[in-house]
């Protein structure tokens, strides 16, 4: 009787909250549970400059209790939907940055709202378990419905985390454990190892390293920061590790005009990778793994050819290093394939693939040989969040039902074609247009010009993001269509025509 009463109370509460969730979304109703409902706004609507007076007031209050200097403006997420972000001053903007590339199917998608309205899902959202020791009954089933349904080729194991940094940090640990287990011949750990690790000394704490690339970004935790080389402000004042850093190719554009030069540049970088592995081995420091992004995102949207990555994978195998692909920003479909590294056509899959952002949860896939050989070795309290897996399963369903991978390819082509046209008309403002799917970018003459263009665009109703020293990047949602691309291009064309 008590449980029935509690169930009724919870259902009632959920229904009330559901009404609150859909408030302000005039196109979302019970009928809107159909995935193909058009819930987008029809365009930007600007009322003030951004940040407006209400945002500035809130920024001042927040800055009183923490450093809020990175805040762009405050948002009204109840009124935001589809590809449009609404701020607290009522400005409605076409969002081509999508929370630093982390919104998969738009704001307030009807399918996700319906998911939260279902009483059987309530417990998943309010009872967050310590997954490593007390997972819910349906946890394995939900992992199969969500993450394992899109697992990269050859990777059958998955561990969830809460963010991209902790995904990479724990992936490093898994690699180090795998390498040490190989070295000791899969024998038992010695007493000396157990004692020395407690005082941060070898052999318990072996002198291993992860090789990374200049311009890469893999997170801000201590180990990840040793592999992050995009902006000095991320690393300043933080002690770090002596791990090798290889150059990443700096390609010349247009690619078809610089085939030979770009091949030589990639060969130079690959040669340096091998040299560094050998050099560090001579220093008694073993490179246990190599980490790389399919497209260096924070570092400036730096691309390399598919052939470069195939050869890099060969180098990792040749030297016995684990090959870790960081898909935190590129994963989830924005390049036209669910995982950007699928474009490479690897014969031998990556050993480890990390993810977060559009995947709703963090974590990493890995080959079975990288599975920890004891409990608590890869562990924290939450180990992710089952509610995120539930939402991801729905996101994946929408991606498949609405054919959003092909949409990313087509919308990306419209965006890239338009950017190339703008580059031809305004070469003094736009250069090195590049992209895969909707994962597009271009360079500006300098940091000041880049920041000014982003500010003007925002005040015209378009949210853009910067990366690297002087690049502007596009990170729209997967429901970004051709007409959104043309809408942006028309607005941005006017901005460039009047830029002073």
365 is catalytic: no
For residues 368-377, give the mean pLDDT.
96
Q: What is the pLDDT of residues 44-66, one digit of tens each?
A: 999 999 999 999 999 999 999 99
311 is catalytic: no
Reported confidence tier of residue 17, pLDDT bands at 50, 70, 90: very low
Q: What is the pLDDT of residues 104-118, one digit of tens each?
A: 999 999 999 999 999
Q: What is the pLDDT at residue 187?
A: 86
Q: What is the pLDDT of residues 269-302, one digit of tens each?
A: 999 999 999 999 999 999 999 999 999 999 999 9
Mean model confidence pLDDT for the chain: 93
40 is catalytic: no
CB 96 within 8 A of CB 411: no
For residues 80-100, give the mean pLDDT.
98
Q: What is the pLDDT at residue 186?
A: 81
Q: How far apart are alpha carbons 91 and 458 in whole angstroms? A: 10
421 is catalytic: no
* Choice among 39, 74, 217, 248 that is catalytic: 217
Q: How far apart are alpha carbons 441 and 408 in whole angstroms? A: 15
Reported confidence tier of residue 39, pLDDT bands at 50, 70, 90: confident
* Choice among 114, 337, 357, 388 that is catalytic: 357
Which of 294, 208, 219, 204 shows the shortest CA–CA distance to 244?
208
* Choice among 140, 381, 401, 417 that is catalytic: 381
* Choice among 89, 95, 301, 326 that is catalytic: 326
Whether the per-residue pLDDT at 37 is higher than 70: the answer is no
């Amino acid at each position: 009787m008590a449980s029935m009463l509690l169930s009724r109370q919870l259902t009632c509460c959920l229904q009330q909250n559901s009404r609150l969730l859909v408030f302000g979304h005039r196109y979302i109703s019970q009928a809107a549970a159909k995935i193909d409902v058009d819930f987008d706004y029809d365009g930007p609507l600007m009322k003030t400059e951004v940040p407006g007076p209400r945002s500035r007031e809130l920024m001042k209050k927040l800055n009183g209790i923490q450093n809020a200097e990175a805040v762009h403006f405050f948002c009204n997420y109840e009124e935001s939907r589809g590809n449009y972000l609404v701020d607290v001053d009522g400005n409605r903007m076409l969002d081509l940055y999508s929370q630093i590339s982390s919104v998969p199917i738009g704001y307030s998608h009807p399918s996700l709202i319906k998911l939260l309205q279902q009483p059987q899902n309530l417990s998943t959202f309010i009872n967050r378990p310590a997954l490593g020791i007390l997972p819910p009954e349906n946890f394995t089933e939900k992992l199969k419905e969500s993450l394992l349904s899109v697992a990269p080729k050859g990777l059958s194991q998955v561990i969830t985390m809460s963010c991209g940094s902790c995904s990479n940090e724990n992936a490093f640990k898994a690699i180090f454990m795998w390498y040490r287990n190989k070295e000791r011949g899969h024998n038992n750990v010695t007493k000396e190892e157990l004692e020395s690790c407690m005082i941060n000394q070898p052999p318990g704490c072996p002198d291993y390293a992860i090789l990374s690339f200049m311009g890469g970004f893999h997170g801000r935790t201590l180990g990840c920061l040793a592999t992050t080389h995009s902006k000095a402000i991320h690393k300043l004042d933080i002690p770090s590790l002596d791990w090798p850093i290889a150059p990443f190719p700096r390609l010349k554009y247009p690619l078809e005009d610089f085939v030979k030069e770009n091949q030589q540049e990639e060969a130079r970088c690959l040669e340096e990778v091998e040299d560094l592995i050998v050099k560090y081995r001579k220093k008694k420091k073993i490179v246990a793994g190599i980490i790389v992004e399919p497209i260096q995102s924070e570092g400036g949207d730096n691309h390399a050819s598919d052939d470069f990555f195939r050869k890099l994978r060969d180098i990792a195998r040749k030297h016995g290093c684990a090959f870790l692909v960081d898909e935190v920003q590129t994963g989830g479909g924005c390049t036209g394939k669910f995982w950007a590294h699928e474009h490479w056509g690897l014969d031998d899959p990556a050993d480890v693939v990390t993810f977060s952002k559009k995947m709703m949860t963090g974590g990493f896939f890995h080959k079975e040989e990288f599975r920890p050989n004891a409990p608590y070795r890869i562990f924290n309290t939450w180990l992710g969040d089952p509610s995120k897996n539930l939402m991801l399963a729905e996101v994946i369903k929408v991606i498949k039902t609405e054919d959003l991978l092909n949409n990313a390819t087509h919308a990306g082509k419209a965006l890239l074609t338009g950017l190339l046209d703008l580059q031809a008309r305004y070469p003094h403002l736009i250069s090195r247009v590049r992209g895969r799917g909707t994962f597009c970018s271009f360079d500006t003459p300098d940091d000041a010009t880049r920041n000014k263009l982003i500010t003007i665009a925002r005040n015209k109703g378009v949210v853009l993001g910067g990366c690297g020293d002087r690049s502007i990047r596009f990170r729209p949602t997967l429901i970004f269509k051709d007409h959104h691309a043309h809408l942006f291009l028309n607005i941005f064309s006017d901005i460039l025509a009047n830029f002073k």
